[in-house]
Amino acid sequence: MKGIELVARGVLARSGQVLLVHKKGAANTFLPGGHIEFGEPAKAALKREIKEELGIAVAIGNFLGVVEHSWEDENGLNHEINLIFAMECDELSVGEVPTSQESHLEFLWQPVEDMAFCDLEPSPLIGLLPEWFSKQPDVGWGSTIE
């Protein structure tokens, strides 16, 4: 039996743009971050994942929300819970494409108003990200499972 994966993801926003990542050869994009290890705090997992992916340190800010996500691939049904946090980092700026430390990943900056055009997964983030940009939000919730 498969389990539910727990993932910490970060929103790094600059000048109306959000840092996204995708696997080389894949059409979809997602927020940076990764799996939380057993016994590891979510914020520590996000810091570790960003260090592994970009080779930089980030400050983890407010908890923004949760997005539940399910999809099917060649291995069957997948299910994850994404804990989303704000991130800050002075080492990255819009206009400079961050260099990935992992050969299978590529990073890009995406204008928040164009989220619908970048095949962002989990898809509820397409609506949540503009809300987070427009005001200091309450905790957000989204799901691809109905």
CA 126 from centroid of its chain's CA atoms: 12
Domain, as residue range, for 104: 5-143
Nearest-angstrom CA–CA distance, 22 and 17: 16
Rounded to 5°, the CA angle 124-94-8 comes to 40
Hunting for tokens 């790094």 — which residue is that? 12
Q: Is 112 helix (H, G, I), strand (E, B) or coil?
A: helix
pLDDT along the chain (146 residues), means of 10: 88 93 94 96 96 96 91 85 94 89 95 89 89 69 60
Q: pTM of this prediction? A: 0.88
Nearest-angstrom CA–CA distance, 36 and 84: 12
When divided into structural domains, the chain yields a total of 1
Closest listed residue to residue 54, CA positions, set 32, 28, 36, 87: 32
| Residue 84's CATH number | 3.90.79.10
